[in-house]
A = this chain, B = another copy of it.
């Protein structure tokens, strides 16, 4: 389990290493939606996504002997950069296992942080097994992308910041909307927020074609994505974990009010509003929570947003220019 105190300890650990990202507000968007929207832009975090927080919190707790053996991680791209940067700061080496189709920007940045890359086939290979084999060979420590209490606690520091920053803006969140991949970001933030604000609703947003979290919540047990031959892909490449985490799922099951699923076309609305109202570069995965709010998906699912104070976690901004440009134009057309 992950406790509130673990998150407080993580916040002390990452202070001065991670960035204290601001909490942003766009008065004209509030006016348009009839609620108060506060955006937590983790695209401004070191390495362009929230992943640095959890990675640093894990690696900073390794002992010198463990650090001398290096770390291994598997990732769809953002965790790769987070682990690479954290490893560099802690003076250890990192090998990152990424899908062959990882966006070039994520590959290049991971290497620029000093990490070595190893590749796997997204559809045919088990990335955990590939990483485990490399870790065994090097006697290295695996830093999991979400299913690890230290990683979850690191991501939870966002929840502490949200509460402190909202209070400074005379706001108390009625709702926090969070992108859903493996569930580590939500588990951390929800654990932090619910401890102090038990009535705050936690909403997760995930791609329609990777709706394992929604189906798992409905089933009451972890259910994997059905990746059969007719399966649609998504440009939310950071939200394609195969199944909710063993650790994250029971936490989220207890603390999350609802899960909404969005098509890629709808996600473009979040990218557009990130651009127009907040001047932020959001990758598709990073824009999905904002899209869930502005598209009406949350209210359509029965959660009232009128006059509420709603925190939206925009989790990352690592995206290829061509993908972004196309999504931005599609989003603008829907506005």
A: which residues have CB within 8 A of B?
Answer: 22, 24, 27-28, 31, 41, 43-44, 46, 48, 85, 105, 109, 112-113, 272, 275-276, 278-282, 317, 321-322, 324-326, 328-329, 331-332
A108 CB to closest chain B CB, in angstroms?
Answer: 9
CB-CB under 8 A from A28, the residues of chain B are 109, 112-113
Can you identify 9 A-B contacts, CB atoms within 8 angstroms?
A: A27-B85, A28-B113, A44-B279, A279-B280, A279-B282, A281-B281, A321-B329, A324-B325, A325-B326
> Which of B48, B113, B275, B317 is the one whose CB lies under 8 Å from A324?
B275
CB-CB under 8 A from A317, the residues of chain B are 279
A31–B88 Cα distance when bound, in Å, is 14
Q: A27-B46, A31-B112 are in contact. Are A321 and B272 (CB under 8 A)?
A: yes
A332–B325 Cα distance when bound, in Å, is 11
A42 CB to closest chain B CB, in angstroms?
Answer: 9
CB-CB under 8 A from A321, the residues of chain B are 272, 275-276, 328-329, 331-332
A260 CB to closest chain B CB, in angstroms?
Answer: 24
A207 CB to closest chain B CB, in angstroms?
Answer: 21
> Which of B31, B279, B331, B332 is the one whose CB lies under 8 Å from A43?
B279
CB-CB under 8 A from A275, the residues of chain B are 281, 321, 324
A202 CB to closest chain B CB, in angstroms?
Answer: 25
- Sort A-B residue pairs by CB-CB distance and give the 6 closest, nearest first: A279-B317, A325-B325, A43-B279, A279-B281, A321-B332, A28-B112
